[in-house]
Amino acid sequence: MRTQFSKLALTAGLMLAITFTFSCSSPDDDNGGGNSNNSNGGSSSPSGGGDSGVVPSPCPNATTGNGTMSCGGQTYGTVVIGSQTWMAKNLNYKVTGSKCYGNAESYCNKYGRLYDWETARLVCPSGWHLPSEFDWGELESYVESDNGCRSCAGKHLKSKSGWNSSGKGADGNGADTYGFSALPGGYGNGSSGGFDHIGDDGYWWVATEYSAGSPRYRDMGHIYEEVLSYNGDLTFLFSVRCVQD
């Protein structure tokens, strides 16, 4: 049986309402629970999201080969999982509509930049794209099938270090079975200018919209092993992980 409800999360002095669907068997945690297979369903900072009306440019001068992808003066490892090729870390291309967590460059160096959704849709370099709901679903299905488990994709995609403990004595790190090396880069609130959940959760934009103005995103957390799926807000700032065309 599935239950539909709204979660209210307090971040940077604002209450953010996020509607999502979760399986009753999901772990009970402070971020709620989602079903990764359901395609429908800190620090403070003074500034918000990107400049309105400015069209972001894709990461330029992209080259791909020998297990790497380079663009915008930076090189990223790539990893093949099933039939897909993914970047092995988050995009860190500085462009209007993106920020470092807490406006600190050191966080960008480790976790990549956080992007608003309009920017995220366009920022992946030529030959790559922001993953759709289908792309994420294919990734999660392959990982779970390959490991003979259910609701476990996050465990195998999270990095082996860098995640906070669950608070219940459990290690929040993952197995990093494929070298995807997902890190908990937290998120930004483009309305309040605040940032939260670094070390606890990683959030990644999905190219698919649930409805107009309500884009999808994926969440991996330190207290659960699945990849959760939510509907977001255009002003949120999340990580970008590109997948090859």
3-state secondary structure 165-194: CCCCCCCCCCCCCCCCCECCCEEEECCCCE
Q: How confident is the model over 44-83, as pLDDT tens digits? A: 222 334 444 466 789 999 999 999 999 999 999 999 999 9
Q: What is the per-residue pLDDT for 55? A: 66
Q: What is the per-residue pLDDT for 171? A: 87
- The whole-model pTM stands at 0.78
